[in-house]
């Protein structure tokens, strides 16, 4: 059951109006499959990554239902609850609801940590139609008696894999226990590991299944390269790579991933000193600092963003042309999410990963999950051939097959195509 066009979907007139204004004509694969099912009232288990259009796939049916039944929410309650793992993602989802619901009368608020709770408490006093929340702050306000989940009609658990990676399983289970039995539940994850499937089975009732964009598809669309380099040589190699990016004819934004918050701060400071305007975002930054850094990044004022995994999850910027894994993630799934920050909406993208001796095992795990050998880039001054050979021997012994090799220099005349995050509650 799919929809060939947005016009073919039985959505309320105000939604069709805004879709026409946005020039949305053809649904993405997940929208084409999920929206008709959700309009029928089915629970949904969706396997889809960020950037596939999944937010619209649940926001439009929910807004349609809210428009069809303009019931006034009771004080401190919400008719729709969307749980998101990070503040950035919560803000992104909230913005999407505001955009698509431009002509639908509904009340919405966001609940997340890093800011004062008073405006959030005030917003909940009259009740809202849509509440987008991070688990930690939401439970705080529930415990204080400011939020009541007993009237939720629509429950969305977004980016479940990241939610569990950040240690939110217990929080999610407690929140689910506070929801009414009669509700429509939607469950989205980029991966369906056994623990995720188990959680879905405990939340969903006879769900429809939609699987879009397997992990390897996103990875294969991006020009990926790996550099075998010593830990001490990573910084000069990064500067050489960024010089090539800065000299490219079509300059684009760059995200550099660090495994730790301290490392992100240190690297951003070093890059600034070397003449590369950079900002760092991570869990220890205040919400205001993170929003300011993201705004400057999107405007190109600081074209380099140094980030940890958790902080970067909500970064959705089409102009990102280069992703650099300064530190390889210790969870292979995070690699797919990281490089997915580039090549958004059909644009071109490049991902370069630095691999030191300590990270060889991480690289093997990554290549297993993406089911391909990442081409190596060794045409630079810091290439470690012995390290590359060790990885090649390890790949052959594990049956991964021969590794493509070749030198691809930093960009100097034209644009080539191409675990960090802390596990604390988002309060």
pLDDT in the model for residue 121: 96
Contact 144, 72 (CB under 8 A): no
Compute the mean pLDDT over every residue in the chain, rounded to the nearest whole number: 85
pLDDT in the model for residue 219: 53
Helices of type H across 247-384: 261-273, 287-298, 309-312, 332-339, 360-370
pLDDT in the model for residue 313: 61
**What does the CA dihedral 341, 345, 346, 349 come to, rounded to 10 degrees?**
-20
* Weakest mean pLDDT among 80-94, 111-125, 383-397: 383-397
Do 6-213 and 216-397 have matching folds? yes
pLDDT at residue 172 greater than cutoff 60: yes
pLDDT band of residue 422 (cuts 50, 70, 90) is very low
Measured CA angle at 328 (ends 323, 331), to 5 deg: 110
pLDDT of 212-236, one tens digit each? 754 444 455 688 999 999 999 999 9
Q: Which residues have a Cβ under 8 Å from the Cβ of 346 and sit 6 or more positions away?
A: none
**What does DSSP assign to residue 6?**
G
pLDDT band of residue 392 (cuts 50, 70, 90) is confident
Q: How far apart are CA 92 and CA 108, in angstroms?
A: 13
Mean pLDDT of 43-70: 89
**What does DSSP assign to residue 22?**
T
Mean pLDDT of 4-8: 85
* Weakest mean pLDDT among 166-170, 245-249, 273-277: 245-249
pLDDT in the model for residue 398: 52
- Ramachandran quadrant class, 311 (left: phi over 0; alpha: psi -120 to 50; beta: rest): alpha
* Weakest mean pLDDT among 183-187, 259-263, 317-321, 417-421: 417-421
pLDDT at residue 397 greater than cutoff 90: no
pLDDT band of residue 194 (cuts 50, 70, 90) is confident
Domain range 6-213, its CATH number among 3.20.20.80, 3.30.230.10, 3.10.129.10, 3.40.50.300:
3.40.50.300
pLDDT at residue 417 greater than cutoff 70: no
pLDDT band of residue 402 (cuts 50, 70, 90) is very low
What are the boundaries of each domain within the chain? 6-213, 216-397
The better pLDDT of the pair 355, 165 is held by: 355
Domain at 216-397, CATH homologous superfamily: P-loop containing nucleotide triphosphate hydrolases (3.40.50.300)
> What is the dihedral sign for C-alpha 264, 267, 269, 272?
negative
pLDDT in the model for residue 289: 85
Q: Which residues have a Cβ under 8 Å from the Cβ of 161 and sit 6 or more positions away?
A: 189, 190, 191, 193, 196, 333
pLDDT winner (highest mean) among 73-82, 207-216, 242-251: 73-82
The better pLDDT of the pair 349, 231 is held by: 231
pLDDT in the model for residue 311: 60
pLDDT in the model for residue 217: 47
pLDDT band of residue 246 (cuts 50, 70, 90) is low
Q: How far apart are CA 426 and CA 380, in angstroms?
A: 40
Mean pLDDT of 355-368: 91
CA atoms within 13 A on the CB side of 235: 13
pLDDT in the model for residue 369: 77
The better pLDDT of the pair 136, 288 is held by: 136
Q: How far apart are CA 42 and CA 196, in angstroms?
A: 19
pLDDT of 252-295, one tens digit each? 899 999 999 899 999 999 999 999 999 999 878 877 888 888 88
Measured CA angle at 123 (ends 118, 126), to 5 deg: 130
Spell out a b/e string for 258-286, using b for 16 or more CB atoms within 10 Å of the CB, else e.
Answer: bbbbebbbebbeebbeeebebbbbbbbbe
pLDDT band of residue 50 (cuts 50, 70, 90) is low
């Amino acid at each position: 059951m799919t929809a060939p066009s947005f016009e073919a979907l039985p959505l309320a007139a105000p939604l069709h109006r805004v879709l026409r204004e946005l020039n949305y004509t053809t649904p993405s694969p997940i929208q084409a499959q999920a929206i008709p099912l959700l309009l029928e009232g089915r629970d949904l288990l969706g396997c889809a990554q960020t950037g596939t259009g999944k937010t619209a796939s649940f926001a439009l049916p929910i807004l349609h239902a809210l428009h069809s039944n303009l019931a006034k929410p009771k004080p401190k309650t919400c008719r729709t609850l969307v749980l998101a793992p990070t503040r950035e993602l919560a803000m992104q989802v909230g913005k999407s609801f505001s955009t698509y619901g431009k002509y639908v009368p509904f009340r919405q608020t966001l609940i997340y940590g890093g800011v004062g709770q008073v405006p959030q408490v005030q917003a909940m006093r009259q009740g809202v139609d849509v509440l987008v929340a991070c688990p930690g702050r939401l439970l705080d306000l529930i415990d204080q008696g400011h939020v009541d989940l007993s009237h939720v009609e629509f429950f969305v658990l977004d980016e479940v894999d990241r939610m569990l990676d950040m240690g939110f399983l217990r929080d999610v289970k407690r929140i689910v226990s506070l929801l009414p039995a009669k509700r429509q539940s939607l469950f989205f994850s980029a991966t369906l590991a056994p623990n995720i499937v188990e959680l879905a089975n405990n939340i969903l009732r006879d769900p429809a299944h939609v699987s879009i964009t397997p992990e390897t598809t996103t990875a294969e669309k991006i020009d990926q390269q790996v550099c075998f380099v010593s830990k001490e040589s990573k910084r000069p190699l990064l500067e050489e790579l960024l010089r090539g990016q800065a000299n490219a004819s079509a300059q684009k934004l760059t995200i550099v991933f660090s495994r730790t918050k301290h490392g992100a701060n240190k690297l951003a400071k070093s890059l600034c000193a070397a003449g590369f305007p950079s900002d760092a975002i991570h869990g220890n930054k205040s919400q205001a600092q993170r929003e300011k850094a993201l705004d400057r990044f999107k405007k190109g004022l600081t074209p380099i963003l140094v980030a940890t995994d958790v902080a970067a999850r909500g970064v959705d910027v089409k102009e990102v042309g280069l992703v650099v894994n300064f530190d390889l993630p210790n969870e292979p799934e995070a690699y797919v999410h990281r490089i997915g920050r580039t090549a958004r909406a059909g644009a071109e993208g490049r991902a370069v990963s630095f691999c030191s001796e300590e990270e060889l095992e991480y690289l093997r795990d990554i290549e297993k999950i993406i089911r391909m050998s990442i081409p190596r880039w060794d045409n630079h001054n810091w290439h470690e051939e012995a390290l590359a050979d060790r990885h090649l021997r390890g790949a052959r012994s594990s049956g991964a097959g021969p590794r493509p090799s070749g030198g691809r220099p930093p960009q100097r005349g034209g644009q080539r195509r191409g675990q960090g995050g802390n596990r604390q509650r988002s309060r």
